[in-house]
A and B are shown apart, each in its own frame.
Chain A
Amino acid sequence: MVSERSFYYRLSGFDNLVFYGIIQGLSISEAKRVAKELLDLVGLSEWKDVQYMKYSTGMQRKLALARALILDPPVLLLDEPTLGMDVVSSRDFRSLIKKISKDKTVLLTSHNMKEVEDLADKIFVLKRGNLIAEGTKEEILAKLGKVKLVSVKEIPKGFDKYVVGYENGTFLLRVPETENVPGEVIREERPTLEDVFVYLMGEEIDSTRNRVRRGGWRRWAE
């Protein structure tokens, strides 16, 4: 799915889909038929003649999803599809992805672990382009065992990434049970995917803040 920026703002959603259908090799009549079906599928039929620039972010994403489906591909690549969407729209969009994934393979990248938990049958965790974990949600969660909620006066060095709150002059940390942290353990819990992600990323999360983009999308400088 190419980003929602790549549409013609002055054309309607329907005309945009017809245009891209023809560009992908469909005839005018095929493109119109497919555009109508896809607008029905993503729930935009009512707004089919409205100019794209008047669509909300959620509607724009749905149209981008519809465009990705024009040639009915067996595999869909979705790159952070709900980024920037409000809660209701992203929930709506996730249910749309679930509907589509019944007869398609959907490869979805996301930093939103709630989204991953909701949608993924299988999870792959990448760090700097390398696969560092894969499996079902349960298999990934099992990598961490349990997490403990610890209250500390000062954050120990290297533990910034585990901070989840601050109250009454103490910091709250969610740390893997295997980590030794000087503080009061409030309780132990089952980990979430977010806990596992933070744990697996390790130092990467801190160093990311210091990296800048330079040149093409592949080139990064420390």
Chain B
Amino acid sequence: MGGIIDKLYAYIYLRGFKIWSSYKTQMILNVLSWVLPVFTYYFVGTSLGGKLVENVGVTDYTAFIVIGLAFQGYVSSTITTISQRLRNEQLYGTIEYYVLSSGGVLSFLIYSALWGFVMNTINAVVTLLIGLALKVHYDVNLLSTAIIIFLLLLSTLGFAMISAGFTMIVKQGNPIAFFFSTFTTLMAGTVFPVTILPTPVKLISLAIPLTWALNGLRLSMLYGEGVMQLLNIIGVLALFNVILLPLGIGFYSYSFKRARKKGTLSEY
């Protein structure tokens, strides 16, 4: 009987990599999209951003944006990847098959998320390496970094399930995917600190796990801060997960059952 390795082979190698690499132009554009934003922000940042972030206590703007861009992609791309994946399955008619399979659609969703994670891990590694080439000095505390990334991924999965639930119901025009693909760069402290935002927007940014995660990752990867020093950030992220994961699973299950009952699973 098949296990996790077999599922990973199916979802990540066959359905993920093989299909992705069959679109050569998209593959090249994807790679460019990992590389180019860093340079864009680097050139803009060195002339403008340096002074801006100095005022709020950030000394190295390049380091600031490298961490921001590396991990912002984890959230926005994973969420949009999952929604897009679900939408594609509706279009291909394959969603019905997942319903019939032993793992069901929850397994389908989790393994689909893994492909997004793989792609974004490559993205993050490439971005961090470009940062290294741009003379960013890393002082990484592995444990606290790993914990923060893990908690960020879990909260992303929660959002992704809510997002997938919307796709299941509304088919197109997903508000969650829209929010994360457009506003996180602005509101979660990706390319500039949230402290310079107007107070109402700043309050919204504090309700986004990515804001806390980026803050924590900058401290753990640039200043080597450990778990004890980052306990408040880790605690907040854990709290997000306690709320988001059950909410995500609940909403996704509800929307899936609703679509199944109405017979609209494969409508698109």
Contact = CB atoms under 8 A, between A and B. Distances in A.
A131 interface: no
Given A15-B18, A19-B14, A7 B1 contact: no
Interface string B75-103: 00000000000000000111011101111
A5 B98 CA distance: 14
A216 interface: yes
A104 interface: no
A26 B263 contact: no
Contact of A6 (B3, B14, B92, B102): B92
Contact of A10 (B19, B100, B103): B19
Nearest to A5: B93
Given A28-B6, A30-B2, A51-B22, 6 more contacts: A2-B96, A6-B92, A6-B93, A15-B18, A22-B10, A25-B101
A8 B94 contact: yes
Q: How extensive is the interface on chain A, given as a class?
A: 20 to 34
A28 B97 contact: no
A55 interface: no
Interface of A: 2-3, 5-11, 15, 18-20, 22-28, 30-31, 51, 215-219
A25 B100 CA distance: 12
Contacts of A51: 22
A15 B11 CA distance: 12
Given A9-B92, A10-B19, A11-B19, A22 B263 contact: no
Contacts of B15: 8, 11, 19
Contacts of B5: 28
B135 interface: no
B2 A7 contact: no
Interface in B227-268: 261-264
B1 A27 contact: yes
Contacts of B6: 22, 26-28, 31
Contacts of A217: 263
Contact of A19 (B3, B10, B93, B102): B10
Contacts of B94: 6-8
B202 interface: no
11 contacts: A3-B93, A5-B92, A6-B97, A9-B92, A10-B22, A19-B14, A23-B98, A23-B102, A24-B102, A28-B2, A28-B5
B80 to A, nearest CB: 20
Contacts of A215: 262-263
Contacts of B183: none
Contact of A27 (B3, B14, B18, B98): B3
Contacts of B263: 215-219
Given A7-B92, A9-B92, A18 B1 contact: no
Contacts of A27: 1-3, 6
Which of B9, B94, B102, B263 has the largest number of chain A CB atoms within 10 A? B94
Nearest to A25: B102
A46 to B, nearest CB: 21
